[in-house]
Structure formats: C-alpha cells, structure tokens
C-alpha cells in the first residue's frame, strides 16, 4: 500500500484517534496541546519503511506537535537525526515514566 493510501485508510484513521486520545491530545515530547485543527501529528517511532509489521501497533505510535515532528525528520527540513527525538520517556500505554510529569497531576 502506498503511503498516501495507508494514511487515508480507515484502520489508520481509527488507530490514529486512539493514539491521540491516549496521549490526551498533547505532544509526548514537549507537552504542548495539539487539539487545534492541523496541529496533531501521529508519528511512527520505528518507521514503516524499516518496520512495516509495526505500522498499526499502538505501542509504535506517539503524538507530536509540528515542531517536535519536524525536528525528528530530516526530510521535513531538520538536520538532526530522527532518533535524537526522545520517545522512551513513556510506557507502552502512553503514560509518562516521570512521576512529576504534568499529566500525572490531573
């Protein structure tokens, strides 16, 4: 399936919404709200190109704001490597590992 076809598929759209709800419509890197139209990015931690078996795995998805998403993708204009963006600060269900994280204060 082409990238365009994948990202328009009902399965991707449904899983994307699950990831956004899990992450409470906040960037998992910086914590900024992504609830405004066009602000939410759902990123594959392990890219589809190298890990196609994980393309629909919720554990492989994270919510990013445009700034953090762009920092993690050279093809989007950043000169930093993709793996420099931290993604290991959250458990498999999307909750922060840091007990003082603002999501845990609610």
Any idea what the CATH number is for the domain that residue 47 is in? 3.40.1800
Residue 90 lies in a domain: no
Helix (H) or strand (E) holding 66: helix 66-71
Q: How many domains does the chain have?
A: 1
| Other CB atoms within 10 Å distance of the CB of residue 92 | 9
Answer whether residue 80 shows pLDDT above 70: no
Which string of b and e fits 21-45 if b means at least 16 CB within 10 Å? ebbbebbbbeeeebeeeebbbbbbb
Residue 106 lies in a domain: no
First to last CA, the chain: 40
Spatial separation of the C-alpha atoms in residues 102 and 106, rounded to whole Å: 7
Backbone angles phi, psi at 81, to 5 degrees: -75, 150
Residue 92 lies in a domain: no
Among 73, 45, 41, residue whose Cα is nearest residue 59: 45
pLDDT bracket for residue 79 (50, 70, 90): very low
pLDDT digit string, tens, across residues 34-73: 999 999 999 999 999 999 999 999 999 999 999 999 987 6
Residue range(s) defining the domain that contains residue 51: 3-84
Residue-level pLDDT at 89: 66
pLDDT bracket for residue 84 (50, 70, 90): very low
Residue-level pLDDT at 81: 42
């Amino acid at each position: 399936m082409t990238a365009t076809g994948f990202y328009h598929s009902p399965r991707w759209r449904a899983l994307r919404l699950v990831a956004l709800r899990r992450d409470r419509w906040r960037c998992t890197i910086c914590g900024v709200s992504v609830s405004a139209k066009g602000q939410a990015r759902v990123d594959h931690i392990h890219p589809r190109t190298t890990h196609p078996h994980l393309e629909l795995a919720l554990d492989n998805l994270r919510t990013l704001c445009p700034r953090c998403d762009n920092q993690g993708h050279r093809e989007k204009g950043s000169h930093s490597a993709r793996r420099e963006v931290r993604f290991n600060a959250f458990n498999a269900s999307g909750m922060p590992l840091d007990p003082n994280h603002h999501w845990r204060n609610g």
